[in-house]
């Protein structure tokens, strides 16, 4: 059967992080117990800062929200400074009224990472669907840690990181500290099961990935292009990230 494809909504603005925080705030106004899918990476830091400001000013609350993060490095326990668990604690839990017991990430230190991936997928299925999934994008078009070659029907699993992603993410590690080789990530199909998806990209380093995503057909070499199969995707881009879009 042919793919049914849609064109994502695209908004280009100087402060896409603010727009993302406002979308989340509007959802929580309507549904305080909404299930959020969250992402890590430098692009998300200003989003979480805005959310923290909203909580501090009592304009928004995460107290009843349940969250599921996209991914975690295999081998890094939650307290490790470069773990995504630590990132979320530092940038969101400690800065807001979020209940840490309702924040979920795969356990990077689980003795059996494959079993952990299956447990995480089952937990999302049980507590989902995710109402709004926040996404960043890798320079190579990855979403979560679904690297080029990831199938559109993939679910949460252990993946090997590409040399490029490990190089890109090395900036978050101490000089000389090894970047993990594997991660547990939600799959493309896990991500597409969310009701709505908001993808944020800033800077010229993401321009090629955004242009490839919009090229027209879902392709494994640009995992983000599978988003064309979802009806409710909103791309929030700054002008640099949007600079190679052809139309």
Q: Which H/E stretch holds residue 51?
A: helix 45-56
Task: Please select the residue that binds ligand GLP; options are 46, 136, 141, 218, rule is CB under 6 A.
Answer: 136
- Pick the catalytic residue from 107, 147, 168, 238: 147
Q: Quick one: which segment of 22-30, 33-41, 174-182, 219-227 binds ligand GLP (CB under 6 A)?
A: 33-41
Does 165 participate in binding ligand GLP (rule CB under 6 A)? yes
142 assigned to active site? yes
Binding residues for ligand GLP, total number by CB under 6 A: 14
Task: Please select the residue that binds ligand GLP; options are 52, 54, 71, 157, rule is CB under 6 A.
Answer: 71
140 assigned to active site? yes
Site string for ligand GLP, 35-64 (x = CB under 6 A): ----xxxxx---------------------
- Pick the catalytic residue from 71, 107, 116, 131: 71
How far, in Å, CA of 84 to CA of 229, rounded?
A: 28
Task: Please select the residue that binds ligand GLP; options are 46, 106, 108, 138, rule is CB under 6 A.
Answer: 138
Does 187 participate in binding ligand GLP (rule CB under 6 A)? no
- Residue closer to ligand GLP by CB (options 64, 196) is 196
Asked if residue 242 lies in contact with residue 10, where contact means CB atoms within 8 angstroms, the answer is yes
- Nearest distance in Å: CB 57, ligand GLP: 26
Q: Quick one: which segment of 85-93, 132-140, 187-195, 212-220 binds ligand GLP (CB under 6 A)?
A: 132-140
Exposed / middle / buried, residue 60 (Cβ in 10 Å: 0-12, 13-18, 19+): buried
- Pick the catalytic residue from 72, 104, 116, 140: 140
72 assigned to active site? no
- Residue closer to ligand GLP by CB (options 34, 87) is 87
CA distances 209 to 75, 114, 125, 203, 221, Å, are 28, 29, 29, 11, 10
Q: Which H/E stretch holds residue 71?
A: strand 71-73
Angle at 52 between CA 28 and CA 230, to 5 degrees: 45
Q: What is the largest CA-CA distance in the chain?
A: 50
Give me the residues paired with residue 236 across strands: 11, 200
How far, in Å, CA of 1 to CA of 99, rounded?
A: 43
List of residues 6+ apart from 171 with CB closer than 8 A: none
Could you give phi then psi for residue 232, rounded to 5 degrees?
A: -130, 75
- Catalytically active residues are 71, 140, 142, 147
Binding site for ligand GLP (CB under 6 A): 39-43, 70-71, 136-138, 144-145, 165, 169
């Amino acid at each position: 059967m042919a793919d049914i494809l849609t064109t994502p909504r695209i908004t280009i603005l100087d402060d896409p992080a603010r727009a993302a925080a406002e979308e989340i705030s509007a959802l929580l106004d309507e549904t305080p117990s909404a299930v959020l899918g969250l992402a890590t990476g430098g692009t998300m830091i200003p989003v979480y800062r805005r959310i923290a400001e909203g909580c501090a000013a009592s304009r928004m609350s995460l107290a009843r929200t349940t969250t599921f993060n996209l991914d975690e490095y295999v081998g890094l326990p939650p307290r490790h400074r470069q773990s995504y668990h630590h990132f979320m604690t530092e940038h969101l839990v400690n800065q807001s009224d979020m209940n840490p017991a309702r924040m979920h990430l795969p356990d990077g230190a689980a003795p059996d990472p494959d079993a952990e991936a299956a447990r995480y997928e089952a937990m999302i299925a049980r507590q989902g669907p995710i109402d709004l999934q926040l996404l960043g994008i890798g320079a190579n078009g990855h979403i979560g840690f679904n690297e080029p070659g990831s199938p559109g029907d993939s679910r949460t699993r252990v993946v090997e990181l590409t040399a490029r992603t490990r190089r890109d993410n090395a900036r978050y590690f101490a000089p000389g500290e090894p970047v993990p080789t594997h991660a547990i990530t939600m799959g493309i199909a896990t991500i597409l099961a969310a009701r709505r998806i908001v993808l944020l990209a800033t800077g010229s380093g993401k321009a090629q990935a955004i242009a490839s995503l919009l090229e027209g057909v879902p392709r494994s070499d640009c995992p983000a292009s599978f988003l064309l199969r979802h009806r409710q995707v909103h791309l929030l881009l700054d002008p640099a990230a949007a600079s190679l879009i052809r139309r």
